[in-house]
Structure formats: structure tokens, C-alpha cells
Structure 1
């Protein structure tokens, strides 16, 4: 199981907040846009942050950034529909998948299997809630069918997976490097990864 000090959790939380502001606020940037890291942030928060309070904080932050983008940033409010509420279970799915993985964590290669399972489950549920919620309940699609939703899923889901894997890959590299440094400094402490 992954255990981190409160200080380390606070540092990670601040980094995740900064990452969300930098990537979700791409609505305001004009020169360099980073892909939205929100999905990876909720997953990583589930892994690294013990309390459930950050989940609520990240919900609020994501909503505020979206609100600011369409209110003051000139971004279209196309996605702000009654289906926006489906982001709550979508993001919670990622957080819960990360939370489940944190309980399976060991700093060995065997951790790749539960990590992969949690990623697949979290991503799939997140896309079904967010994409399905928008498709069926936003009012933006005149006639909805399961087959057309399947086509939309095949078209857009790989882009979300690609972005998620990009950010999670960076997190894995950073985590592994820090865990190796901790092992070198304190060889008995192998559970804090």
C-alpha cells in the first residue's frame, strides 16, 4: 500500500492544482496549449491523496476554471449543459480507480497489472459518464442512438486515452525516480515509494 506523509501529500496536491490550472485554463492561453490533464489529475489524486476532500476541491476547481473560461475567457459554453453534472461521476470514477490502485501498490514490476486494470476501469467509466452523459442528456444531439454513440466513442475516446497516458507516463517516471532516491537514502523504507 502506498503511504505518504501529510507534507508529501500537500506538495502533490499543490502540483496537481497547478497542473489543472495550467492545462484546463488552456482556454486563456494563445501561444502554447497543453492538453487538459484533468482525467490524469483525478486519477493521481486518488492514488496519492488519502482524504476524499481533495476530490471535492478538484471538482470545484474544474468547475470554476470552466466557468471563468466561458464567462470571461470568451470560450464557447457549448459543453455547459444539464449533462455537465455527469462530470461528477466521471471524475469520481477516475479517483476511485486511483484509490483502488493505491491499496494494491508495491514498488515492483508486479504493480503494472493492478495499475493497468485500474487505468482501464477508470478511463472506461469516465468516458461512459462524461461522453455518454453529454451525448444522451446535453440536448445538443437531436436524435441519439446507441450505434451513433458507439461511433462517437470510437472517434473521441482514443484522444482522451492518449492524453491520459501521456500525463500518467510522466507521473510514473517521476514516481519511480523519487522512489529509487528514497531507497538509496533509506534502504529500509521501501513502502513509501
Structure 2
């Protein structure tokens, strides 16, 4: 579905709003029913905003860091002394980049609302989410002072086993909501175009 620059900007702003609200809520424990949508946002942005990575991806990354900074310092904690912030924090760039690339890869290969597109979407999500998790979890485990020594490959595998499924479920939930919205808009657009032709 071809989009105008205005539509792309609208999608970007909607995704940025979802990420700001849910990412901030996780840190402040407000609206805990809404888990952090960041991973789903980067995947969906890669799909819907493919070709705008030069401005959309850096802005979403800057927003993620800004939300973290504002929430952490707003609690009276130094940003760099927070549990989640360590040298591993910089690895969010390639981790989120993997999600963006997964969505972008899907956008180039999807063939409309078909079963093959659904299969490609599932594969793209699983691969890009696994890469994101491996980079973000691995960097945190091996580089963060918050993880007690001694560290071992076995303990890391156990840690990944504890956290992988919840992260996959949350990401899949938001991507599924985005996919449902995409299908709804595509069907509505098609119906309106058909109605316009029959008049």
C-alpha cells in the first residue's frame, strides 16, 4: 500500500506516542497492564516506514533514550547508576535495528493480505525478535555490573530461558495489534475505492 509523506508522518507519530506511553509506564509502574511496546514499535516502524530509516529510526532511538532518561532522573536517580543502564545500553541500537530490519524485510516481500504473507510475517518477527533478544540480553548479562559474578554460559542460557518467552509474547501482541489494524485499514481503503468506482 503506497503511502504519502503525511501518512508516514502520522504513522510515525502514532508509534512514537505508543512507545512513549508504554515505555514510561514500565519505569514508573503506571498502567502496568500495558507492557513496553518498544520492540513491537520498531518492528512495525520497519514495516510501515521502510525507506524512511534515515530519519524515523534515529528519532525513535532518541525517543527511547529520552523517555528512559526523563523517567529515571525524574525518580531522583542518576541515569548512569540505574540498574538497566550500563555499557550494554548502547547495544539497544543494533538490537532495535534488528527489529526494524525484520519489519523492513517483510515489507519488501509481502504480497498483500495472503497466507504466504502471514507466514513471512511470523518468520520475520521470530528471527528479528530473537536477534534483538540475543543482543540486548547477552550484552546486559555479560557487560552489566548489575549481573553478579561469576558469570557463565550456562547461567546466561538459564537467564535467557527465563526472559525470552515473555519478551516474545509482548512483542507478538503489539505486532499482532498492528497487523490487525493494517488489515482493517487495507480492507476499508479497498471498500471505499470500490464504492467510489461504482458511483
Distance 1:167 1:38 in 2: 9
Hey, what does 1:134 align to over in structure 2?
A: 140
Q: For residue 148 of structure 1, what is the aligned residue in structure 2?
A: 155
Give the 3 Å change call, closer, same or farther, for CA 136–99 of structure 1 in structure 2: same
Match of 2:82 in 1: 77
Shift of 1:37: 0.1
Q: CA RMSD in A?
A: 1.6
2:52 is the counterpart of 1:51? yes
SS of equivalent to 1:58:
helix
The alpha-carbon deviation at position 31 of structure 1 amounts to 5.3
Count of matched residue pairs? 186
Structure 1 SS opposite 2:35? coil
Aligned to 1:98: 103
- 1:100-119 correspondence runs (5 A): 100-107=105-112, 108-119=114-125
DSSP 3-state at the match of 2:75 = coil
Residue 32 of structure 1: CA displacement? Answer: 5.1
User: Counterpart in 2 of 1:30?
Assistant: 30
- The whole-number CA distance in structure 2 between the counterparts of 1:114 and 1:10 is 26
User: Which residue does the alignment assign to 2:197?
Assistant: none
Structure 2: gaps spanning 5 or more residues: 195-199
CA distance in 1, matches of 2:117, 2:70: 39
After the TM superposition, which segments of 4 or more aligned residues of structure 1 sit over 6 Å from their partners? none
Distance apart, 1:139 and its partner CA: 2.3
What are the within-5 Å matches in structure 2 for residues 117-128 of structure 1? 117-128=123-134
Aligned to 2:184, the other structure's residue is in SS state helix
Instruction: Give the TM-score normalised by structure 1.
Output: 0.91
The TM-score normalised by the length of structure 2 is 0.88
In 1, the alpha carbon distance for the partners of 2:130 and 2:151 equals 20
Moved more, 93-102 or 163-172: 163-172
Q: Which residue of 2 aligns with 1:88?
A: 93
Contact 1:48–1:102 (8 Å) recurs in 2: yes
Q: Which stretches in structure 1 are left out of the alignment for 5+ residues?
A: 188-193
| Conserved? CA contact 1:23–1:33, under 8 Å | no
Structure 1 residue 177 displacement after superposition: 0.8
The equivalent of 2:14 in structure 1 is 15
Distance across 1 between alignment mates of 2:170 and 2:31:
19
